[in-house]
Structure 1
Amino acid sequence: MMDLWHTLVSILFILAPVFLYHNVALRSTSAEPPLIKGRLPFIGVALNFVSDPQPLLEKMRAKLGWIYTLYLGGRRMTIVSDPVLGIRQVYSQGRIFDAGEFFRYLNIKLFNYTERINSNSEFQEALVRHVITYLSSPANIDAIAKDLQAEYRVLVDENSPFCNDDYTLQNGTTVDLYGFARKTMYVSAAYAVFGKSFPADSLYRNYINFEDSLLRFIKGYPYVFNRSGQDARKAVLADLGDFFIDQEKASRSSPFITGISALFDKFGYMTREDLSGYFLSIVFASKSNSIPIAFWYLAFIVHDPEFKAEIIELIKKNYVKETKDFDWKALYSDPLLNSAFKETTRLASNITSGRAITRDAMIKVADSKDRTKSKEYYLRKGDSVLILSSLTHWDPDAFPDPMAWHARRFLPDSSSSSNPLVPHEHADKDTKEPQWRAYIPWGGGGHMCPGRHLAIVEAVTQLVYMLWYFDIEPVSKTVPKMKVGENYGGGVLKPASAYTVKIRRRSEPLVS
């Protein structure tokens, strides 16, 4: 009995300081953002944040405003959703708010980078320079767009073995539009970027299984709880390693990819492990967000009969009979198509931008209740900052009626009450910016997504050819809901259920 008493006293002696620290010493000062520390010592609100972060984050935003700090597993993570002042500062002050640590973590956790290439800053900087330089060139984007157009058209035209073998679309088949659009865009984009030798078909199923398990990798699930994702990634890495180690096949890729391969050769990183991990991240960057965006773009337009009819007329108007092709430049830059695309990315993108705070700093944040007021907050070196696009994109103060899709929301002359980016009449004088930073699907700063220029190319290409060759009618009266839950913050949202449509091949394209 005495031994049991001694044991209990010992446990209490150990735990008492922990609870004392959590409940008394762990707090924010008046100069810091409000601290949400939860009830569990050390763990804080980590369990809520990992399992289903959306209710927690939106509750705190409604209660505390556009900045607050979460205590997660012994670390402080500050959430910033202020589109007036705060987000702009995080993205523009890269030396204070460093994205490098965030990406190095993902490189290992998600893509299985080898440690030697992940830690080589000179090599990483060379890769980033190549990617940004190449994808910032309109001529390079045009070249990839032409290849994408050719590949996509082969998949869906009247001679398509894919459509005729897998889907008898000429008979008015009912299909899951997401499954159909996902496969056609994945294959055509893969061939356009990696060349016809790329094993797109054999990779597809394993890659999709890996993609659907992304958050399990990020959250560090052990193998037993992420068996299918781990096995799928292993298979994908093996196929990518075999492809890129074969210089004859890899050399048939686009100049964008061969330029990356040349850097690997220059730095002496030509092993299967080095190549496969990095190129898995390129496959991910080129497909995992842009393909679901292209689907939602098509789905929202198809579901609005009047708007779909308007877009069909726009497509017909930009068909050039002499060349038997479209005026793609006009289509990609069309204000209405761009507005609908921006509205789609606003609603469906669910991106997390993470930054490590490299030194003690002050950040000015507007008052969410009275935007004419602002306050400076102290942030500690070693803590982290998170910006989640949905906290801003779905904020009714930034975008009235935020959960509805308004195709014309981003037109410059829109007089709709749903028009975004409400001018901020009392903008901070230091920013000299009359509008909010409320549209952030591509992140910001030096790590702004370089693939954003290709995303609209993919979406418009798919839309044009699908409406050109097919009559598409939704079976359901509603567009499927987006799957949020534990996927919150994990990238462009997927549909929560199938979006069944009746799809029939036109007896001839819109313009004979």
Structure 2
Amino acid sequence: MDMSYVIVAALFVLSPLLLFHALLKSTTAEPPLLKGRIPLLGVALDFVNGPQPLLERARKKYGWIFTLYIGGRRMTVVSDPVVGMRQVYSQSRNFDAHAFFKYLNIQLFKYTPRINSDAAFQEALLRHVVSYLAAPANVEEIASVMRKEYRALVDENSDLCTGDYADRNGTVVDLYNFARQKTYIAAAIAVFGKAFPAKEIYTDYITYEDSLSRFIKSYPYIFNKRGVDARGRVLEYLADFFTDNEKSSQSSSFITGISDLFRKFGYLSPDDLSGYFLSIVFASKSNSVPMAFWYLAFIIHDEQFRGEVMKIITSHYNSTTQDFDWQALYRDELLNSAFKETARLVSNITSGRVVCRDSMIKIADSKAPSSTKEFYLRKGDSVLVLASMSHWDGEAFPEPMLWNARRFMPENSGKLIKHDKASKDGDPQWKAYIPWGGGGHMCPGRHLAIVEAITQLVYVLWYFDVEKLSADVPQMNVGENYGSGVLKPSSTYNVRFRRREAPATKA
């Protein structure tokens, strides 16, 4: 066949698509549009291969709002910490979080369609989760069990230590694997009870967790086989656990309260239970556990600050009860500042909303924040707020990629955190710190995250002398994981653990 005919035929077939792409543009009322060079795909390949450089280039060129054209859809990125992000979080009539979560519920957790589409049931579950974790007494119920379990995991006689971390001569470990395993198991037992198969599902769960970005991006099975198969095995364990009342009844009142709602609404099939409770495992582990690692790693690496932390820990130890004043530790101003700084630096959360009707959004001028302009957003498009675009903004947080434990201390307001209060010239207050999202769907697990991090920190520094062996704290593994949650380390962080003969009891 003459190749000229093939070329003409191909052009005839593709011409409508090419014409559509050529005419694709934003109106003067809409945010600037990055449509890319490839019809239909748009900037999809650039976004998959290097989302962070793409987004940073776009923000530098266009400011605090722009739209990406990806796979036939428009996704508008809003990074305006003055007025824009607040509207995305608060205007639920215009920007619907439920549609975004319904997609993730299927992609990540394999919700059954009937649960995913039952708005009343979803609302009842959300109310229970938010109200329960907002009560300090409820958080303490879980925290007290977690402390007991974590202490057992690092105790000299623990079968999970088996000498590896109890060696007084010093054992080299990768701190991330250590922290990940210990915090995961202690927190899982605290939330789901002693009968929960925490150790049995651990390996499969972290395989699934490490594949999250592939689930979110809808990779075909052949490119996500390990993740899909691991998730399937985890779901089987969860189905077995939550259909066995004798086992699941040993869970915390947080979980038994959720189980009561499942019975009330009549959702009792193994698939109904396993999909939803996988999302609870994810919510309680997949961001707080790596956060706890980074918190510990940054403090261990800064030896001077570690000494200050040790004094704080020791000052709250009661030799009579042989326990700590945990509430004082959880409230400590410096420990909280270090935790907030850790969350700022490593949080890579995406908050997504679907535009449920044609809307206008007001965006501040990045160069003159007291001035604003309105932009038109189309019904059916998506709006994304990416935490790292605010957290790594040098205008909001000077030296943004530097971990500074004192950044959130009161005396550094306006210095290490700029624009955190209204300025004298009338510029409005910035809200650039958003590690937990915002609005009615702000992560309720934030109340437990700091408890997990401080509990691990206290017990590790109390029982072990920890010698850092790596020159630096690892870089964050951004890559294709951009926007999928708290970032994991890109390399190992080796330390040497030496168990103390006896913990210090004097400051």
TM-score range, shorter chain: over 0.9
Of the three residues 141, 154, 166, the one matched with 1:143 is 141
CA 1:400 to 1:324, structure 2 compared with 1: closer, same or farther past 3 Å?
A: same
Deviations 1:231-265 (Å, cap 9, x if unpaired)? 11011000111111111000000000011111111
Of the three residues 467, 481, 484, the one matched with 1:490 is 484
Deviations 1:280-317 (Å, cap 9, x if unpaired)? 10000000000000000000000001100000000000
The aligned residue for residue 303 of structure 1 is 301
The aligned residue for residue 363 of structure 1 is 361
1:456 Cα deviation from its structure 2 partner: 0.4
Tell me the distance in 2 between the aligned counterparts of 1:50 and 1:114.
28
1:422 Cα deviation from its structure 2 partner: 3.8
Verify the 8 A CA contact 1:395 1:402 in the aligned structure 2: yes
**Structural mapping, 1:72-111, within 5 Å:** 72-111=70-109
CA 1:420 to 1:184, structure 2 compared with 1: closer, same or farther past 3 Å?
A: farther
Matched to 1:12, the amino acid is L
Of the three residues 112, 124, 139, the one matched with 1:114 is 112
Tell me the distance in 1 between the aligned counterparts of 2:482 and 2:81.
19
The aligned residue for residue 195 of structure 1 is 193
CA 1:16 to 1:357, structure 2 compared with 1: closer, same or farther past 3 Å?
A: same
The aligned residue for residue 505 of structure 2 is 511
Instruction: Tell me if 1:457 matches 2:444.
Output: no
Indicate the SS of the match to 1:161: coil
Verify the 8 A CA contact 1:371 1:426 in the aligned structure 2: no
Matched to 1:205, the amino acid is T
CA 1:391 to 1:484, structure 2 compared with 1: closer, same or farther past 3 Å?
A: same
Indicate the SS of the match to 2:488: coil
CA 1:228 to 1:427, structure 2 compared with 1: closer, same or farther past 3 Å?
A: farther
Tell me the distance in 2 between the aligned counterparts of 1:478 and 1:420.
27
Matched to 2:465, the amino acid is D
Verify the 8 A CA contact 2:467 2:497 in the aligned structure 1: yes
1:216 Cα deviation from its structure 2 partner: 0.7
Of the three residues 35, 58, 74, the one matched with 2:33 is 35
1:51 Cα deviation from its structure 2 partner: 2.6
CA 1:228 to 1:97, structure 2 compared with 1: closer, same or farther past 3 Å?
A: same
Tell me the distance in 1 between the aligned counterparts of 2:73 and 2:480.
21
1:420 Cα deviation from its structure 2 partner: 4.4
The aligned residue for residue 291 of structure 1 is 289
The aligned residue for residue 321 of structure 1 is 319
Unaligned 5+ segments in structure 2 are: none
The aligned residue for residue 20 of structure 1 is 19
Tell me the distance in 2 between the aligned counterparts of 1:270 and 1:372.
53
CA 1:388 to 1:55, structure 2 compared with 1: closer, same or farther past 3 Å?
A: same
1:364 Cα deviation from its structure 2 partner: 1.2
1:13 Cα deviation from its structure 2 partner: 2.6
1:10 Cα deviation from its structure 2 partner: 3.6
Deviations 1:327-349 (Å, cap 9, x if unpaired)? 11111011101100000000000
Unaligned 5+ segments in structure 1 are: none
Deviations 1:147-186 (Å, cap 9, x if unpaired)? 1111111111232222234444322111000101110101
Matched to 2:358, the amino acid is D
1:5 Cα deviation from its structure 2 partner: 5.1
Segment drifting more, 419-428 vs 334-343: 419-428
Segment drifting more, 302-311 vs 164-173: 164-173
Tell me the distance in 2 between the aligned counterparts of 1:280 and 1:14.
45
Matched to 1:66, the amino acid is W
1:14 Cα deviation from its structure 2 partner: 2.9
The root-mean-square deviation of aligned C-alpha atoms, in Å, is 1.6
**Structural mapping, 1:125-204, within 5 Å:** 125-204=123-202
Verify the 8 A CA contact 2:156 2:163 in the aligned structure 1: no
**What is the TM-score when the length of structure 1 is the normalising length?**
0.96
Matched to 1:251, the amino acid is S
Indicate the SS of the match to 1:405: coil
Deviations 1:91-141 (Å, cap 9, x if unpaired)? 111111111111110110111111111111111111111111111111101
1:8 Cα deviation from its structure 2 partner: 3.8
Deviations 1:392-445 (Å, cap 9, x if unpaired)? 1001111110000000000112268423444343898xxxx9421100000001
In the comparison of the two structures, how many residue pairs are matched?
Answer: 506
Verify the 8 A CA contact 2:469 2:496 in the aligned structure 1: yes
Verify the 8 A CA contact 2:82 2:428 in the aligned structure 1: no
Q: Percent identity over the alignment?
A: 64
1:9 Cα deviation from its structure 2 partner: 3.3
Deviations 1:9-45 (Å, cap 9, x if unpaired)? 343233223222211x211111111000001111110
Of the three residues 396, 399, 402, the one matched with 1:398 is 396
Verify the 8 A CA contact 1:84 1:436 in the aligned structure 2: yes
Verify the 8 A CA contact 1:366 1:372 in the aligned structure 2: yes
Matched to 1:11, the amino acid is A
Verify the 8 A CA contact 1:84 1:427 in the aligned structure 2: no
Segment drifting more, 490-499 vs 154-163: 154-163
Matched to 1:103, the amino acid is F
Matched to 1:221, the amino acid is Y
Matched to 1:471, the amino acid is D
Instruction: Tell me if 1:441 matches 2:439.
Output: no
The aligned residue for residue 481 of structure 1 is 475
Indicate the SS of the match to 1:373: strand
**Structural mapping, 1:41-52, within 5 Å:** 41-52=39-50
Indicate the SS of the match to 1:386: strand
Tell me the distance in 1 between the aligned counterparts of 2:188 and 2:255.
11
Indicate the SS of the match to 2:411: coil
Tell me the distance in 2 between the aligned counterparts of 1:276 and 1:421.
44
Tell me the distance in 1 between the aligned counterparts of 2:140 and 2:418.
30
Verify the 8 A CA contact 1:427 1:434 in the aligned structure 2: no
Tell me the distance in 2 between the aligned counterparts of 1:483 and 1:339.
24
Tell me the distance in 1 between the aligned counterparts of 2:94 and 2:414.
39
**What is the TM-score when the length of structure 2 is the normalising length?**
0.97
Verify the 8 A CA contact 1:409 1:416 in the aligned structure 2: no
